[in-house]
Structure 1
Amino acid sequence: MRITKSLPSKSSTRNQYLATVIVNITNILYGYASGWTSSSLLILESNEKSPLVEGAMGQEERSWVTSLFAVSGVVGTLLYYFIADVAGRKIPLASVAVPHLISWILIEYGIYPWQLYLSRILSGLGSGGAFTLVPIFIAEISEAHVRGRLGSLLMFSANAGFLFAFLAGYYLQYFAIPYFGIILSIVYLLSFIFFPETPTFLLRIKKEELAEQSFRFYRNVGEGETMSDNIRKEWDELRKRIDETMQTECKVKNNFEYKDLFKTRAGRKAFMIGLALIFMHEFCGVFTMLNYTATIFRESGSKFSPQLSAIYVGVVQLLGTYVATFLVDRLGRKILLISSAIGTSLCLSCLGSYSYLHSIGVDVSPYSWISIASFSGMMFLAAIGLIPIMFIVIAEVMPEKVRSIGCTICFCLSWILAFVMVKFFESVALVFGMHGWVFLFSGCTLFGAIFIIVFIPETKGKNYAEIAAILER
């Protein structure tokens, strides 16, 4: 009988990495669906190129194409939360491929606006479910020393999807773009169904034998093998935590969770941190600006091709999240969040100044590189900290008993804010100019940096008991 080593090894995390890579295909689908609008809006608004039988889309129709994605994201977040509470993490996570698959089929054959609207609703539904469940799934299968790196793959995958969408928009014909989404949805569905349910959920429904089998799988310990001391201790602590949770829960679970979210100091502070990070995520402007990347470059006066500029931005953003996967468990969450927020704010200030000078008639063509440099810098710096680490920290600070409901409320708020900002982005830009939005994003991000310095604790390498103890102070 082989005894595993006491110290954490790469082999013990192999299946954790594998499961995380597969489950994050859902976030590639999210990024691909979100990035689809950047190049496709330029085609849909064109009288010559529009594939719709009714001709070019107007500004109001375009705003619905972008914003309906976020509206259904709220529905998907709530729907999948309640399903996961009963059916676990595995079945709901596998099922998010279905709305994505139907969504891309609708785009492939869509020649009327209502088909595009329905497509965006379905893709938002699947994306809302993924953004709710993937952080919970990863938190429940991963060891503390790799939790940050695995969690950061969420936004790395999403940004990979954005880049794929930008590339597809530049190199492929309009009706060829959906093929990638269709194939990826099928590959994900056929791959993820082979992974077991999380041990945490199985313990909560009192299936301890299956829970231990799942735990062994995600720690790469065979059924006939002896757990190492560290892994055995982790398993015993997990069982103890779940037992304590189940003993204190009242019969009406939802009422208990809502009350418990605010009953303790740790719960209240975790919820405040979650809400603040969500506001930072939306008001740093990354999601909104990614939906209109090509349009922003066109309106800013840049001499570079809007679609090609979007590809450059996608590459830089993906590089940023790749760097984040290596830094998040080395430097910690807090220092990356602070550095990312301050740097993002400065880049937004540069982009806003450039856009403002262009709007008042100053000849900025000799300095057109500033627009792509500042936009790319903003995306890179946000991708290092603000975007991926937000989801990690929210999942880490939420007490286990209220993690699901706490994350769900935060993600619903994220989708609601995203809808409002994407829906009215063009309308507000017509009144205050593109620079008005950019300066707002810059100021909000700088204010967020101050909040991080004052209120957010470092969660690197800490288990949930240690994090809760910090929040109780």
Structure 2
Amino acid sequence: MSSSSVSLYCQLLPDSQFFLQILIAICANIVVLGPAMGFGYSAVAESAMRSNKTDGDLQLDANQANWMATVSALGTPIGCLLSSVVMGRGRKTSMFVTSLISMAGWVIIYMSNSYVQILVGRSISGISTGMASVPTTVYAAEIAGSKWRSSMVTWTSISIALGVLIVYIFGYIFQDNWRMVALMCALFPLCAIALILLVIPESPLWLRDRNRPDEALEIMKKFRGIPKDQPAPAEVLFELKPRPQKKNQNTLKHLMKRSSLVPFGVMLSFFFFQQFSGIFVVIYNAVGIMAKSGVKVDPFLGAVLIGIARFIASFLMAGVSRKFGRRIPSMISGIGMTIFMGGLSLYLFLAEKGTVMADNGVIPVICMVMYIFTSTLGFLVIPFAMIGEVFPSKVKDILSGMTAAIGYLFSAITVKTYPDMAKLMNMYGVFLFYAIMSLIGAIFILLFLPETKGKTLREIEDMFSTKKKAFEL
């Protein structure tokens, strides 16, 4: 069968091209669930850990509880840097190591008999969170065709949203039992390990870059729906064609190329606005923030509502990203975050000044839920999706890990400084700061964020290699 007839075969049977891609991408994203639960654990466990104990179990004070959240956030950038190293050993290996570390962290938390042990468990859990953030997105980008890539790279964020929602639900069910919540979380990386060993193949592009073309072609043909005994069409061979490189060009020279530096600078800036707009502060402290925002419902139930809003928005984001790309959803997200966080700030300011509100606490609920919803449509999801596609393959392991690491370092700073900001500025001042940062972030996106919709990874690299105006990228 000729290459043209193979292409016709794939067009007549489109499901054969995409079914395996979708199935394997879903399996790979299960790896993210266990580590992602670390984002929401402190929110649901803090009240149980701080409550008065009659059975001699651990009891934390306010400062210790804040450090419980912060050490996880500090461990996450370390995990991102480790993922850069481990991904060099293979995407599959990286996901396997991530799951092992995640399970170890949850088991240590469950078995903790001291505050220090909790910090150790939370640190390990945070490391696994950082390690999970990049490999799955990169893996999805490398196995997906250009038609589906813009959607599939957002599935990591859907998995993170689902993991956070699940741990919020566990917290609602087991409000007084932080150990049981940790034990339930440990089951998910165990399931992921089984899938990695039994189902998930190695990335064909990673195999290509390791001079294993036969294995790469065999796996890529499966992902593109081409029968094993048929020749690969020209499009598939082009995907697996190594980019020409100058002889003896080392990694540092690759890192210093325009095609590496420009996306690195853009993505670091995007992550800065993501974190300082307060998204992760709300996720890490959902229960406490709901209680301080004038919400007149069970704060644990309020956290579940936040988790549901984020999960629904993550699903919508997959379709929105495929249709509208990166720039438009990101700008809408920033504007929405500005409106709802600014509205909540105004509400709390008026309440602080003695204004009587007749809404029975409905407005804060709407503002908080819609803030998370709109953030997920762009600011929360798109930066993580884009690090899987904007960096050249030769330095993707390094730059994707470094970018996520610095982004999570921003997260640790915001999580740690949140209590001090609340004391200094009051809650309405904190929310106003987040609203202003969201607005500045939306302006940055308008001016500098490139569009990658519909482009192959090779085309994206070529786009950054040439000088263009930011809004033309």
Cα displacement (A) at 1:405 = 2.2
Matches within 5 A, 1:282-321: 282-321=275-314
**Aligned-CA RMSD value:** 2.1
Which residue among 390, 400, 406 is the counterpart of 2:399? 406
Change (3 A) 1:168 1:406: same
Measure the CA separation in 1 of the matches of 2:102 and 2:56. 21
Measure the CA separation in 2 of the matches of 1:115 and 1:440. 35
Measure the CA separation in 1 of the matches of 2:18 and 2:393. 22
Cα displacement (A) at 1:226 = 4.2
Cα displacement (A) at 1:238 = 2.4
* Amino acid paired to 1:259: M
Q: Give 1:12's aligned residue.
A: 17
- Judge conservation of contact 1:337–1:449 (CA < 8 Å) in 2: yes
After alignment, is 315-324 or 26-35 more displaced?
26-35
Deviation sequence 1:362-421 (CA, Å, 0-9, x none):
444744111110010011111122211222223332233332222122111111111111
* Amino acid paired to 1:429: A
Cα displacement (A) at 1:321 = 0.7
Q: Give 2:471's aligned residue.
A: none
Matches within 5 A, 1:106-117: 106-117=108-119
Secondary structure at the aligned position of 2:297 is classed as coil
Cα displacement (A) at 1:340 = 1.1
Q: Give 2:132's aligned residue.
A: 130
Q: Does 1:235 align with 2:233?
A: no
Deviation sequence 1:213-239 (CA, Å, 0-9, x none):
121232233322344xxxx23322223
Measure the CA separation in 2 of the matches of 1:371 and 1:317. 16
- Judge conservation of contact 2:46–2:65 (CA < 8 Å) in 1: yes
Secondary structure at the aligned position of 1:298 is classed as helix
Which stretches of structure 1, 4 residues or longer, exceed 6 Å deviation after superposition? none
Q: Give 1:248's aligned residue.
A: 246
* Amino acid paired to 1:19: I
Cα displacement (A) at 1:54 = 4.8
Which residue among 75, 79, 95 is the counterpart of 2:78? 75
* Amino acid paired to 1:129: M
- Judge conservation of contact 1:300–1:358 (CA < 8 Å) in 2: no
Measure the CA separation in 2 of the matches of 1:341 and 1:415. 19
Secondary structure at the aligned position of 1:459 is classed as coil
- Judge conservation of contact 1:151–1:388 (CA < 8 Å) in 2: no
* Amino acid paired to 2:143: I
Matches within 5 A, 1:260-339: 260=257, 264=258, 266-339=259-332
Change (3 A) 1:59 1:249: farther
Deviation sequence 1:137-160 (CA, Å, 0-9, x none):
111111111011111111111111
Q: Give 1:370's aligned residue.
A: 363
- Judge conservation of contact 2:134–2:388 (CA < 8 Å) in 1: no
Which residue among 89, 92, 96 is the counterpart of 1:90? 92
Deviation sequence 1:107-127 (CA, Å, 0-9, x none):
222231112101111111111
- Judge conservation of contact 2:10–2:16 (CA < 8 Å) in 1: no
Q: Does 1:24 align with 2:18?
A: no
- Judge conservation of contact 1:54–1:112 (CA < 8 Å) in 2: yes
Cα displacement (A) at 1:439 = 1.1
- Judge conservation of contact 2:338–2:436 (CA < 8 Å) in 1: yes
Change (3 A) 1:138 1:44: same
Cα displacement (A) at 1:457 = 2.4
Change (3 A) 1:296 1:361: farther
- Judge conservation of contact 1:52–1:111 (CA < 8 Å) in 2: no
Change (3 A) 1:403 1:364: same
Measure the CA separation in 2 of the matches of 1:185 and 1:77. 18
Deviation sequence 1:5-43 (CA, Å, 0-9, x none):
247823211121112111212322233121111121111
Measure the CA separation in 2 of the matches of 1:330 and 1:437. 35
Secondary structure at the aligned position of 1:96 is classed as helix
Measure the CA separation in 1 of the matches of 2:12 and 2:121. 48
* Amino acid paired to 1:171: I
- Judge conservation of contact 1:139–1:147 (CA < 8 Å) in 2: yes
Deviation sequence 1:196-224 (CA, Å, 0-9, x none):
21111111111111111121232233322
Which residue among 432, 442, 465 is the counterpart of 1:439? 432
Q: Does 1:358 align with 2:351?
A: yes
Q: Give 2:61's aligned residue.
A: 58
Which residue among 178, 188, 191 is the counterpart of 2:195? 191
Measure the CA separation in 1 of the matches of 2:441 and 2:264. 16
Q: Does 1:146 align with 2:139?
A: no
- Judge conservation of contact 2:306–2:369 (CA < 8 Å) in 1: yes
After alignment, is 69-78 or 266-275 more displaced?
266-275
Q: TM-score, normalised by structure 2?
A: 0.91
* Amino acid paired to 1:237: F
Deviation sequence 1:230-257 (CA, Å, 0-9, x none):
xx233222233x241xx3263643x233
Cα displacement (A) at 1:71 = 1.3
Deviation sequence 1:274-325 (CA, Å, 0-9, x none):
1111112212211111111110111122221111111111111111111111
Measure the CA separation in 2 of the matches of 1:99 and 1:401. 27
Secondary structure at the aligned position of 1:386 is classed as coil
* Amino acid paired to 2:235: E
* Amino acid paired to 2:398: I
- Judge conservation of contact 2:43–2:283 (CA < 8 Å) in 1: yes
- Judge conservation of contact 1:89–1:133 (CA < 8 Å) in 2: yes
After alignment, is 5-14 or 102-111 more displaced?
5-14
Q: TM-score, normalised by structure 1?
A: 0.91
Deviation sequence 1:247-278 (CA, Å, 0-9, x none):
3263643x233323xxx2x4332122111111
Secondary structure at the aligned position of 2:294 is classed as coil
Q: Give 2:378's aligned residue.
A: 385
Q: Does 1:218 align with 2:223?
A: yes
Measure the CA separation in 1 of the matches of 2:114 and 2:442. 44
Measure the CA separation in 2 of the matches of 1:410 and 1:143. 24
Q: Does 1:258 align with 2:287?
A: no
Cα displacement (A) at 1:186 = 0.9
Structure 2: which 5+ residue stretches go unaligned? 469-473
